[in-house]
Amino acid sequence: MDPAMDRDLHRPSRASAVLAVTAATLACCTLFVVLRLISRFAIVRKGGLDDYFMVLAWVLAFGTSFTICYGTAVGLGKHEDDIPVEWQVPMKKLAYVFSVLYNPALMATKTSILVFYLSLSRTQRVFRYATFATLTVVNIGGLALTLLNVMQCRPVSAAWTTPIPAHATCTSIVTIYLSSAPLNIVTDLAILFLPMPILTSMRLPKKQKAILVCTFGFGVFVTVVDVVRVAYLQDAARQNLLALQSHRAMNGKDSRTTDDFSWTASLIFMWSAVEINVGIMCGCVPAMKPLFTRFLPTWILDHTVREKSVTNTSDSVMHPDLVHAHTVISRRKSQVEPAQPSSAHIEDEPMDMAAFLNSPDVDLQPRANRNSYASMTRTAQRTPTFFDFVDERRKKNFTLMTNRESIFPILMVTLLFFVWGFAYGLLDTLNVRFQQVAHMTASQTVGEHSAYYLGYLVGPLTFGRFVFNHWGFKACYTVGLCIYACGTLVFWPSAVLMSFPAFLVSNFITGLGLSTLEISANPFIALCGPPEYAEVRLLVSQGIQAIGSILSPLLAMKVLFKDSAGSSLIDVQWTYLGISFFTVILAIMYFYVPLPEASDRELEEATNRLPIPRNATVRLSGSSVSIKIIYLTFALAILSQFLYVGAQESISTTADDFIRATLPSLDTVNFQAIGHTAFAVSRFLAAALNLAPRVIKSRYILLAFYIAAVAFAAACMRAPKGAAAATNLVLLVFAQGPIFPLVFVQGIRGMGRRTKDASVLLTAAIGGGAVWPAVLWVVMQSRGVQKAYVVVVVITAVGVVFPVWLCGKREVREISDGVSVGLQEKKKEKEEDGSAGRGADVEKAGLGMGEDDVRDGHLELEHTDERDFGSSEATRTEANEIGAANLEFQTAPAWLSGGEGGIVDMIRQENGSAGPSRGAG
pLDDT in tens, 245-268: 554 444 444 444 445 778 888 888
pLDDT confidence of residue 345: 40
CA nearest neighbour of 473 among 420, 518, 422: 518
Region 728-733 average pLDDT: 95
pLDDT confidence of residue 830: 53
pLDDT confidence of residue 829: 52
pLDDT confidence of residue 696: 86
Top-confidence residue, 315 or 537: 537
Residue 37 pLDDT greater than 70, yes or no: yes
pLDDT confidence of residue 570: 67
Residue 243 pLDDT greater than 50, yes or no: yes
pLDDT confidence of residue 560: 63
**Residue pair 266/18 in contact by the 8 Å Cβ criterion:** yes
pLDDT confidence of residue 826: 52
pLDDT in tens, 894-914: 433 444 444 334 434 444 444
- Which percentage of the chain shows pLDDT scores above 90? 40
Residue 784 pLDDT greater than 50, yes or no: yes
**Residue pair 106/139 in contact by the 8 Å Cβ criterion:** no
CA distance 864 to 261: 70
Within 10 A of 458 (CB to CB), how many other CB atoms are there? Answer: 18
Beta-carbon contacts of 587 under 8 Å, excluding residues fewer than 6 positions away, are 477, 478, 481, 482, 485
pLDDT confidence of residue 766: 96
pLDDT in tens, 844-890: 444 334 434 333 433 333 333 333 333 334 444 444 444 444 444 34
pLDDT confidence of residue 175: 81
Binned at pLDDT 50, 70 and 90, residue 818 comes out as low
Domain boundaries, the chain: 3-297, 323-381, 416-618+626-819, 836-910
Residue 842 pLDDT greater than 80, yes or no: no
Binned at pLDDT 50, 70 and 90, residue 310 comes out as very low
Region 295-321 average pLDDT: 50
pLDDT confidence of residue 576: 80
Does 416-618+626-819 match 3-297 at the fold level? no
Binned at pLDDT 50, 70 and 90, residue 825 comes out as low
Q: What angle do CA 139, 144, 146 make, to 5 degrees?
A: 90
pLDDT confidence of residue 634: 96
Binned at pLDDT 50, 70 and 90, residue 290 comes out as confident
pLDDT in tens, 737-767: 999 999 999 999 999 999 999 999 999 999 9
pLDDT confidence of residue 357: 55
Residue 324 pLDDT greater than 90, yes or no: no
Region 93-105 average pLDDT: 92
Q: What is the mean pLDDT of the chain?
A: 77
Collapsed DSSP state (helix, strand, coil) of residue 627: strand
pLDDT confidence of residue 436: 77
- Residue 23 Rama label (left phi>0; alpha psi -120 to 50; beta): alpha
Q: Which of 21-35, 324-338, 814-828 has the lowest mean pLDDT?
A: 324-338
Please name the fold of domain 3-297.
Rhopdopsin 7-helix transmembrane proteins (1.20.1070)
Cα maximum dimension of the chain = 106
Region 174-188 average pLDDT: 86
**Residue pair 22/270 in contact by the 8 Å Cβ criterion:** yes
Residue 598 pLDDT greater than 50, yes or no: yes
pLDDT confidence of residue 300: 59
CA distance 581 to 488: 10
Which architecture, in CATH terms, is 416-618+626-819? Answer: Up-down Bundle (1.20)
Binned at pLDDT 50, 70 and 90, residue 831 comes out as low
Task: Break the chain down into helix, strand, coil percent, rounded to 5.
Answer: 75, 0, 20
Top-confidence residue, 548 or 320: 548
Is the Cα dihedral 193, 198, 204, 206 positive or negative? positive
Examine residue 611 and say whether the peptide bond preceding it is cis (omega within 30 degrees of 0).
Answer: no
The CA–CA distances, whole Å, from 557 to 34, 133, 446, 554, 680 equal 53, 39, 22, 5, 20
Helix intervals (H) in 490-628: 491-497, 500-527, 534-555, 570-592, 600-608
Residue 631 pLDDT greater than 70, yes or no: yes
pLDDT confidence of residue 391: 44
Region 578-595 average pLDDT: 90
Residue 326 pLDDT greater than 70, yes or no: no
CA distance 312 to 641: 59
CA dihedral 295, 296, 297, 298 (to 10 degrees): 160
